[in-house]
Amino acid sequence: MVKQIYPRVEINLQYLKENVAAVVEKCKPFGIDIAGVIKGTTGIPECAKMFAEGGAKLIASSRLEQIEDAIDCGIDLPMLLLRVPMLSELPEVVRLCDVSLNSEVSVLKALNEEAAKQNKMHKVILMADLGDLREGFWDKDEMVDVAVMVENELKNLELGGVGTNLGCYGSIEATADKLDELVAIAERIEGKIGRQLEYISGGATTSLPRIINHDMPKRINLLRVGEGILLARDLDVFYGYDMSWMHQDTYTLKAEVIEVKDKPSHPVGKISIDAFGHTPEYVDRGIRKRALLGIGKVDYGSIDEIFPKDKGVEVIGASSDHTILDIEDAERDLKPGDIVSFGINYASIVYLTNCKNVQIVFV
């Protein structure tokens, strides 16, 4: 097997653990527990352990294989399936998961049958679509009726609560008013079943502004947080929040320089399409010093999602396996064999930790 040193992602596990603990502590005065979402780093067990050690009350992923890895590495916390289950995977859902998010009556009935076969009780959180238009009941009367059915008729399912997702597809902000809608649905259900629900799960990282602004509705008691712990970048870059209380450099991409040349900044010849079927626009800046890296779009997705840490270094393009840097104004005199470091965001970390060509190193 080829042993490849670069490209690599270096992960500071202590920083990750401290980020988990910081978010847990931030949410504690509001009575909110954290489900640690491990899918952003492809469920790497070492990272999942930091969620557990940092104080998350559940471990969550949309991928069953990641949940199984978390169990196999000895994490003894309830496991939450984030994606509405496929009918074809229900035996594994019941085997591996304590809790799942649900929005389909046929799936709930089949899930109940599978739980009975395995002689288990399986907890479900019913999802409400509050306008983001991904998963969840749009008809809230139907949602209440289904909740009553789960409570009274599906003997191997436990109605754990209700939840919602905001911001992932429809870009809808998780405002206090939106989350009040979820609380109202929960209280309608509680009135019908005669007891209080265990969970009112008010979304994900996009709901953390309600904590920071101190306007989170009182009954929300569970958030499912991934990016806001792993990178703590989105709330800073897109929402303008001061995230200096979090480590934003837990993950660092490092890649090796394989060529340094002075070349024109505009391609020479008839412009056609690139390797991905696109025709980018090129700015003619004359002859510039450029560096090639031994990493490309196959590894991280888009050049817009990696951020050079060297001053004066600019990512100007990439193909499948090469990344092109403008280093004319770089403070370092880069040469082949040198290593360039990058900050990364959620989109790139998902690619990088899924790519077998990229080494994972813990520091």
Catalytic residue chosen out of the listed positions 3, 26, 28, 39 = 39
Active site residue 39: yes
Q: Cα(265)–Cα(286) distance, rounded to whole angstroms?
A: 6
Q: Cα(107)–Cα(112) distance, rounded to whole angstroms?
A: 8
The dihedrals phi and psi of 63, each to the nearest 5 degrees, come to -120, 120
Q: Cα(208)–Cα(212) distance, rounded to whole angstroms?
A: 6
Q: Return the half-sphere exposure (C-beta side, CA atoms, 13 A cut-off) of residue 268.
A: 5
The dihedrals phi and psi of 358, each to the nearest 5 degrees, come to -105, 125
Catalytic residue ranges: 39
